[in-house]
Amino acid sequence: MKMNVFLRKFLLYVPVKMVPAVSGIFLIFYLYRLFPEGQYVSYSVSLFCSLITAQLCAGWVGNSFIYYYSGLEDKRLFVSNCISVVFLIAPVSSVLAAVASVYFSSAAYVFISVWLLCFGQILFFFLSSACQAGFFVKQQLVAVVLQAVTQIALIVVFFKFFEVDFRFALLSLAIGYFVAAFYLLYTVLKIFGVSNPFSNVGLFKDNLKLIFQYGAALSPWILGMLVMVGADRFAIGYYNVESGDAYLSLKDLFVGAAGLLSMPLLMMVHPFVIKRFREGVFAINVIESSSGFLIVAFSLLWGALHFVGFGFFEIITGKTIGVSKLAILFAFIGVFLNSASVYFQKRLEVHRKMKLLAYLSVVSSLISVFFAWVGARYWGVIGASLGVLLAQMLYFCLVTASLFKRLDFYRSFGAPAVVSLLALLAGYALSVGLDAVASAMIEWKRSIFWLAGFTAISLFSLWKGVKWSEFMKASV
């Protein structure tokens, strides 16, 4: 298969993920720079409460919609039924997020801000799933652009004319989600048509039972995964841990960067793995190549962060990081393991071992909460980050064990790790060389020269360290 076919399919998914990721990264810098001490923690915890609730209470509807969409004859009525279910769930579910956020922040109006945010996220997430099922990429792109522009513009206006406060940021995010959701709602109804969901109560009940039977099994897994990766946020917010603002802002940056690196590839790999499984073959080579890509890409990202990125972060925000590099490394490795686990659990997914996945994620989340809470209380940020990392390592090892007999560990881990190590050593040598020959040069100019050289090293490493031929087959 020609390389341009793979690139065309791979890049098709990039804009839809890039716009919210870039706007999210911008907001992390912007908000961390302006928020008073402690407010970024309140903002991050409130946002995560909303996200967990939105995914838990309505994510199963979107996943079920994608699963059943292609086999439906009467798509119009099914779409109307699912939309009505989401509108019934959203206001009640949002109360859970609002109550949870109030537990971590006693500031006035937090309840209503988080309630609106969760409501908007639930609508947006489901309607995005509906567009994804129908492959309406242009409509999704317009929606995320509307979302990003609205959110950023409102935050700037609120902060300029009212007050720099995390509640205004939450309200701005909520309005952005509502604007994008109503655009997608208009698009979906225009494409599928409008139908009274209660015209046939019996069919409505059948459709509700259908989506619940498939989606309900996903809810414990989704909850476990989200709690596992976010336990440090809650622990830091509960104990008001020192340097929590800097730690959570950097972790949010890592999550955004991970989405840019892994999600476009995952959206291409996932349907191919399912297709091959239905043909009687599990595409283990694609999983191995995906692992190689993630190891090399995340290693290169850490190199860029270590040598120039953290300094750039301090210049942009005007604040020193003030967090142990070890804690930051723990958070980074945890984000990598979370991204990689999504690929290595594919064998359990295609065999529909969702109960096992749910059990593994829930057990890992409980371990994460326990160690993060204990770690934050006695060792601060570094204890919280280590607690979450230990749980993520456990989950990664457990899901990877399902591929133990099939996996080529050298191709999956060994070769990419060697390439990554050589690339990091080359980056270190480049840094030492620039310090020696250009010590009088301004720091930012040296950083630009280093980035230029490391970019060339990175491209070569990705070319040699990843089995791209397997992705070509996936583009068939």
3-state DSSP assignment of residue 213: helix
> In this predicted structure, what is the pLDDT of residue 350?
73
Q: How far is Cα of residue 317 from the mean position of the Cα atoms in its chain?
A: 23
pLDDT average, residue stretch 367-396: 95
> In this predicted structure, what is the pLDDT of residue 287?
85
User: Which of 216-220, 297-301, 323-327 bottoms out in mean pLDDT, i.e. has the lowest?
Assistant: 216-220
Tally Cβ neighbours within 10 Å of residue 456: 12
For the segment 452-470, what is each residue's pLDDT rounded down to a tens digit?
Answer: 999 999 999 988 888 777 6
Q: Is the pLDDT of residue 264 over 70?
A: no
CA angle 12, 48, 356 (to 5 degrees): 75
> In this predicted structure, what is the pLDDT of residue 288?
84
Provide the 8-state DSSP code for 411: I
> In this predicted structure, what is the pLDDT of residue 474?
53
Q: Is the pLDDT of residue 376 over 80?
A: yes
| 343 contacts 287 by C-beta, under 8 angstroms | yes
Q: What is the pTM of this model?
A: 0.84
Residues in the chain: 476
User: Which of 16-20, 70-74, 164-168 bottoms out in mean pLDDT, i.e. has the lowest?
Assistant: 70-74
Q: Which of 24, 44, 30 is nearest to 245 (CA)?
A: 44
Q: Which of 304, 291, 289, 306 is nearest to 336 (CA)?
A: 291
pLDDT average, residue stretch 92-116: 88
Provide the 8-state DSSP code for 107: -
| 174 contacts 98 by C-beta, under 8 angstroms | no
> What does the alpha-carbon distance between residue 14 and residue 5 come to, in Å, rounded to a whole number?
15
Provide the 8-state DSSP code for 243: T
Q: Is the pLDDT of residue 243 over 50?
A: yes
In SS3 terms, the chain reads as CCHHHHHHHHHHCHHHHHHHHHHHHHHHHHHHHHCCCCHHHHHHHHHHHHHHHHHHHHHHHHHHHHHHHCCCCCHHHHHHHHHHHHHHHHHHHHHHHHHHHHHHCCCCCHHHHHHHHHHHHHHHHHHHHHHHHCCCHHHHHHHHHHHHHHHHHHHHHHHHHCCCCHHHHHHHHHHHHHHHHHHHHHHHHHHHCCCCCCCCHHHHHHHHHHHHHHHCCHHHHHHHHHHHHHHHHHHHHHHCCCCHHHHHHHHHHHHHHHHHHHHHHHHHHHHHHHHHHHCCCCCHHHHHHHHHHHHHHHHHHHHHHHHHHHHHHHHHHCCCCCCCHHHHHHHHHHHHHHHHHHHHCHHHHHCCCHHHHHHHHHHHHHHHHHHHHHHHHHHHHHHHHHHHHHHHHHHHHHHHHHHCCCCCHHHHHHHHHHHHHHHHHHHHHHHHHHHHHCCCCCHHHHHHHHHHHHHHHHHHHHHHHCCHHHHHHHCC
Distances (CA, A) of 159 to 27, 101, 153, 332: 13, 22, 10, 31
At 82, the pLDDT band (50, 70, 90 cuts) reads confident
At 196, the pLDDT band (50, 70, 90 cuts) reads confident
| 327 contacts 306 by C-beta, under 8 angstroms | no
> In this predicted structure, what is the pLDDT of residue 318?
87
At 1, the pLDDT band (50, 70, 90 cuts) reads very low
Q: Is the pLDDT of residue 26 over 60?
A: yes
> What is the percent of the chain where pLDDT is above 90?
41
Q: Output phi, psi for 228, to 5 deg.
A: -60, -45
Tokens of 8: 């065309």
